[in-house]
């Protein structure tokens, strides 16, 4: 072991070895991996080793596809067999809703270029897996590139390939302490101290402890997971081909062949956490005692699905721990305030996702940015609220139990809630508010007319459709009141504030008393934010954006901070409400005697609203005359009461974000995580119209190269869709003459224009107005056409008037 490396990876499982391999392959050869025991000791050795195509996040599904393709490459590079069994696999649906969901998932795969997937009938499923009972199966989805690997062989293949690229793999070396230094980290081990610029936490079951060594509390927890391996089954032994991997979603089981028997794995409804503070250091190749009584229901379903299991014994039980994050996705990337500290943990499906995690993290470390949009596994998607042990226990347990349970787009899950609530939460709840959650904060979805109303989870238009329609009508015709506590707010001040903002934001800075839409770019020209910048005229500025991106944006700001700049996250201390609609000014005039009518579009200033000195900006995501009113958290209840009283005679109605999502679609206003992501450029999304090309800003060279070249291959357009009982939501494929030419970024119903609508990323040659296309919605192909942006009030008269 040398005394200095450019990067040190802690953890010798499939994720750590993948990170090491990708770093070395991409040119960082002065790297090493430290393993406290031997490679695979932890979770990797006892993993079932299955890999499959399906993931709810299409970006992560793409990285899974990359991992599957990579397995053969590392086998060749290393000379170590990975024990690849490319059996193909199928996912089964046993309810009508699940079958619709699988049909939608199939179309999503087409959107992201995975074309070796197709739908199958129950009869076809039975032919593909002849020992399986097809009772209760409605349909399934087949994927060619599914199967399993030898887990130990795969880890050693990653490590062997890494060694051939110059990396060191050091076993029997335990990390005792991490000391942050001016130039990186001192990694103190039981064999000496290693100095490094970068340290990667790929410690798996020990990720919690390795995080705490750096003063970080990672939201991860191990949970136990059962699978069994049967004795030889004569019917399997008699087959002339290997059986496919099978996922039985209604049965909570997955199955693959193991020699001449079956491996049956179970995601237990009655989940069980294990060593939430991290595994003991001496743990490695041990297992927990099997607990068949706890998994009796799932075992029964599995034995019914595969009747041959009822005739043979169980050769081996495995009850071992895997580490989960609150949403089941990995924790990857840099940690704010800890330069050179990187995460690659919480990867519960390591043999499926490990290749993609290693690739993305290596790109991030070497180039400063990933090729793919990896926000879904970025460690910064969680804030400090997720460090709470009870929150971790509830959310990781919920994910584990629901691993094979269908979650609907409009379904609100209870774990870890309610956690953070705006001060007027109780009053709004009494008024009928139904809540969602955003980064731990309760946000209003809509206001139901009665206490007895319950929204039915659905892939189609729900029974809240008419309620949202009424809220949209109130905004368009009168005035809607929306709690906007769920926006992020950063206050910027200091003598260097203007210079820093001018470099960080690609727009012209707003003048005092004005606000401006502000795209923020990475050095490579990709979007890092669709923000709103306020200049309050007293030396302070506000940056506003999406609440759930607070930690992510704060990390970016901190990593690119200028001199003499003071930046505060004030989102929880500053809350507020917005008024949108033709009567919004009348409401404000009734609540204040100040010159509120003089505030021009995109203006901002301080006004007395009732008893409250509030900061007010005149802008509206709904496309109407509108105002955002910001106050201290302690004033939130009073502000709501003041506005409701002032709006009584003007038809004021409280509304939620479901209505806002419909209203903004009618204006072709994009939102982050849909039209705007770090995978897109400003030109692709139309955000380039806010760029000030005459100044210097981060990402200018890349943005200009795109502008002055051939432009982006795809751009965002607005679609009108001939839908009936369901609307697009995102990632549905868009077709022209049988060829995929784009995909939906977001969609819904425009209640004012009376049309099903979507925004979509489309190939340039199909962006012309009137272009006829088709799109699959809940698996059904519907006619669609490109329409002009902003079908409601295209001139913007209502908003600016």
- Tens-place pLDDT, residues 287-321: 999 999 999 999 999 999 999 999 999 999 999 99
Q: For residue range 28-87, what is the model confidence (pLDDT) as tens digits?
A: 999 999 999 999 999 999 999 999 876 767 788 888 889 999 999 999 999 999 999 999
* Residue entry with tokens 């690229």: 165
Q: Are residues 750 and 768 in the same domain?
A: yes
Instruction: Tell me if 262 is assigned to some domain.
Output: yes
Q: Domain for residue 408, yes or no?
A: no
**pLDDT grade, residue 633 (50/70/90)?**
very high
What's the token pair of residue 119? 């739908």
Q: Is residue 403 part of a domain?
A: no
Instruction: Tell me what pLDDT residue 213 has.
Output: 98
User: CA separation (Å) from 437 to 130, 333, 458?
Assistant: 44, 24, 18
So what's the pLDDT on residue 113? 84
pLDDT > 70: what percent of the chain? 100
Neighbour count for residue 689 (Cβ, 10 Å): 11
Last-in-domain residue among 669, 689, 717: 669
Q: Is residue 526 part of a domain?
A: no
pLDDT tens-digit series, residues 404-460: 998 899 999 999 999 999 999 999 999 999 999 999 999 999 999 877 899 999 999
Alpha carbons within 13 angstroms on the beta-carbon side of residue 215 total 8
For 711-750, the pLDDT digits (tens) are 999 999 999 999 999 999 999 999 999 999 999 999 999 9
Residues whose CB falls within 8 Å of the CB of residue 6, separated by 6 or more in sequence, listed in order: 28, 30, 31, 196, 197, 198
Residues written for the chain: 801
Q: Answer yes or no: is 547 within a domain.
A: no
- Beta 652-654 vs 479-483: how paired, if at all? parallel
292 with 437, same domain?
no
3-class SS string, 432-455: CEEEEEECCEEEEEEECCCCCCCC
Task: Band the pLDDT of 8: cuts 50, 70, 90.
Answer: very high
pLDDT reported for residue 57? 76
Other C-beta atoms closer than 10 Å to the C-beta of 85 total 21
User: What span, in angstroms and rounded, lies between the C-alpha atoms of 115 and 484?
Assistant: 42
Q: Number of folded domains in the chain?
A: 3
Same domain, 10 and 126: yes
* Residue 295 forms part of a structural domain: yes
Q: Are residues 47 and 79 in the same domain?
A: yes
| 308 and 210 housed in the same domain | yes
652 and 691 in a single domain? The answer is no
pLDDT tens for each residue of 520-543 = 999 999 999 999 999 999 999 999
Together in a domain, 312 and 295: yes
CATH number of 291's domain:
3.50.50.60
Residue 236 lies in a domain: yes
Helix pair angle (350-367, 58-78), 10° resolution: 90
User: Rounded to 5 degrees, what are φ and ψ at 622?
Assistant: -80, -10
Domain containing residue 696: 670-791
Shared domain check, 155 and 61 = yes
- Asked if residue 190 has pLDDT above 90, the reply is yes
681 and 781 in a single domain? The answer is yes
Does residue 664 sit in the same domain as residue 753? no
Average the pLDDT over 350-379 and give the result: 95
Query: Rounded to an integer, what distance in angstroms lies between the CA atom of residue 591 and that of residue 608?
Result: 8
Residue 563: predicted pLDDT: 95
**pLDDT tens digits for range 548-571:** 999 999 999 999 999 999 999 999
Q: What's the DSSP call for residue 509?
A: P
Please write the tens of the pLDDT for every residue from 660-698: 999 999 999 999 999 999 999 999 999 999 999 999 999
Residues 202 and 345 sit within 8 Å (Cβ to Cβ):
yes
Check pLDDT > 90 for residue 109. Answer: no
d(CA 336, CA 559): 8
Quick one: pLDDT at residue 295? 95
Q: 657 and 697 share a domain?
A: no
Q: Which whole-number Å values give the CA distances from 694 to 98, 529, 592, 701, in the listed order? A: 53, 20, 41, 12
With a cut of 90, say whether residue 228 has pLDDT above it: yes
Nearest to 162 by CA among 25, 35, 364, 44: 25
Confidence check: pLDDT of 1 > 90: no
Phi, psi (degrees; rounded to nearest 5) at 397: -65, -40
User: What's 745's domain CATH number?
Assistant: 2.40.30.110
The percentage of the chain sitting over the pLDDT mark of 90, rounded to a whole number, equals: 95
pLDDT at 115 > cutoff 90: no
Q: How far is 601 from 614, CA to CA, in rounded Å?
A: 18
**Structure-token pair, residue 286:** 């041990």
Closest CA to 622 of 672, 666, 686: 666
Q: How confident is the model at residue 101 (pLDDT cuts 50, 70, 90)?
A: very high
- Residue 307, CA distances (Å) to 239, 262, 304 in order: 16, 11, 5
Statement to judge: residues 731 and 784 lie in one domain: yes
Q: Could you give the angle at which helices 350-367 and 14-25 cross, rounded to 10 degrees?
A: 40
pLDDT in tens, 199-221: 999 999 999 999 999 999 999 99
Gap between the Cα atoms of 223 and 291, Å rounded? 14
- Under the banding of pLDDT at 50, 70 and 90, the label for residue 593 is confident
Residues in contact with 623: Cβ distance below 8 Å, sequence separation at least 6, in sequence order: 663, 664, 666, 667, 669, 790, 792, 793, 796, 798, 799
- Domain CATH number, residue 419: 3.30.1360.120
End residue of a domain, out of 620, 650, 669? 669
| pLDDT digits 0-9 by tens, 473-521 | 999 999 999 999 999 999 999 999 999 999 999 999 999 999 999 999 9
Residue 273 lies in a domain: yes
* Per-residue model confidence (pLDDT) at position 114: 84
3-class secondary structure, 459: coil
DSSP H or E segment with residue 324: strand 314-324
């Amino acid at each position: 072991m040398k005394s200095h490396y450019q990067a040190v990876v802690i953890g010798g499982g499939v994720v750590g070895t993948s990170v090491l391999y990708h770093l070395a392959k991409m040119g960082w050869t002065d790297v090493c991996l430290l393993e406290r025991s031997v490679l695979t000791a932890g979770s990797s050795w006892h993993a079932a080793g299955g890999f499959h195509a399906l993931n709810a996040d299409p970006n992560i599904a793409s990285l899974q596809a990359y991992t599957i393709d990579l397995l053969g490459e590392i086998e060749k590079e290393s000379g170590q067999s990975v024990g690849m069994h490319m059996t193909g696999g199928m996912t089964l649906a046993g309810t009508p809703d699940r079958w619709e969901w699988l049909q939608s998932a199939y179309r999503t795969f087409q959107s992201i270029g995975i074309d070796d997937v197709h739908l199958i009938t129950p009869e076809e499923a039975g032919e593909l897996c002849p020992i399986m009972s097809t009772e209760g199966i409605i349909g399934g989805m087949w994927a060619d590139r599914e199967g399993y690997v030898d887990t130990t062989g795969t880890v050693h293949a990653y490590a062997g390939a890494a060694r051939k690229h110059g990396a060191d793999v050091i076993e029997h070396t335990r990390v005792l302490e991490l000391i942050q230094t001016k130039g990186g980290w001192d990694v103190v081990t039981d064999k000496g101290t290693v100095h490094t610029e970068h340290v990667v936490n790929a410690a798996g079951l020990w990720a919690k402890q390795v995080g705490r060594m750096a003063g970080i509390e990672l939201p991860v927890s191990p949970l136990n997971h059962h699978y069994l391996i049967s004795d030889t089954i004569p019917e399997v032994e008699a087959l002339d081909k290997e059986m496919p991997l099978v996922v039985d979603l209604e049965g909570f089981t997955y199955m693959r062949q193991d020699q001449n028997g079956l491996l049956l794995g179970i995601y237990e409804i009655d989940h069980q956490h294990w060593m939430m503070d991290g595994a003991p250091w001496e743990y490695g190749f041990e297992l927990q005692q099997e607990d068949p009584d706890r998994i009796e229901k799932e075992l029964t379903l599995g034995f019914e699905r595969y009747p041959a299991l009822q005739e043979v014994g169980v050769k081996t039980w495995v009850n071992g721990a895997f580490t989960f994050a609150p949403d089941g996705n990995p924790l990857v990337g840099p940690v704010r305030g800890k330069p050179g500290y990187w995460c690659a943990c919480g990867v519960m499906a390591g043999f499926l996702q490990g290749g993609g995690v290693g690739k993305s993290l290596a790109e991030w470390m070497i180039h400063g940015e990933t090729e793919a949009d990896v926000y879904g596994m970025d460690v910064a998607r969680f804030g400090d609220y997720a460090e709470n042990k009870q929150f971790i226990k509830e959310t990781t347990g919920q994910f584990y139990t629901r691993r094979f349970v269908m979650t609907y787009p409009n379904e609100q899950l209870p774990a870890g809630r309610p956690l953070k609530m705006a001060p007027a939460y109780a009053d709004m709840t009494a008024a009928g508010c139904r809540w969602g959650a955003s980064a731990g904060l309760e946000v209003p979805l809509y206001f139901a007319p009665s206490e007895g109303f319950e929204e039915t989870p659905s892939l189609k238009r729900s029974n809240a459709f008419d309620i949202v329609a009424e809220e949209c009508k109130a905004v368009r015709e009168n005035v809607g009141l929306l709690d906007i506590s769920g926006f992020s707010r950063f206050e910027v001040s200091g003598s260097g504030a203007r210079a820093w903002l001018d470099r960080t934001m690609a727009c012209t800075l707003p003048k005092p008393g004005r606000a401006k839409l502000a795209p923020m770019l990475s050095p490579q020209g990709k979007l890092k934010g669709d923000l709103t910048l306020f200049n309050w005229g007293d030396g302070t500025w506000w940056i506003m954006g999406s609440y759930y991106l607070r930690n992510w944006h704060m990390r970016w700001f901190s990593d690119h901070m200028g001199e003499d700049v003071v930046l505060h996250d004030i989102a929880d201390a500053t809350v507020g409400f917005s008024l949108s609609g033709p009567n919004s000014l009348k409401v404000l005039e009734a609540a204040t005697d100040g010159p509120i009518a003089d505030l021009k579009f995109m203006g901002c200033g301080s006004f007395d609203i009732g008893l409250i000195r509030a900061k007010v900006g005149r802008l509206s995501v709904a496309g109407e005359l509108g105002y955002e009113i910001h106050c201290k958290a302690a004033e939130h209840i009073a502000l709501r009461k003041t506005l409701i009283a002032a709006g009584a005679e003007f038809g004021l109605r409280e509304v939620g974000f479901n209505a806002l999502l419909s209203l903004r679609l009618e204006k072709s206003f994009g939102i982050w995580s849909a039209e705007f992501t770090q995978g897109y450029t400003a030109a692709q999304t139309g955000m380039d119209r806010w760029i000030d090309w005459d100044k210097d800003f981060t990402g200018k060279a890349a943005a200009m190269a795109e502008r002055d070249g051939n432009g982006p291959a795809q751009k965002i357009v607005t679609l009108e869709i001939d839908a009936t009982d369901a609307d697009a939501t995102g990632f549905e494929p868009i077709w022209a003459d049988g060829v995929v030419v784009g995909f939906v970024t977001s969609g819904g119903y425009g209640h004012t224009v009376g049309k099903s609508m979507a925004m979509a990323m489309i190939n340039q040659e199909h962006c012309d107005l009137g272009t006829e296309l088709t799109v699959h919605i809940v698996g059904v192909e519907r006619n669609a056409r490109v329409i002009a942006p902003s079908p409601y009030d295209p001139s913007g008269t209502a908003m600016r008037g």
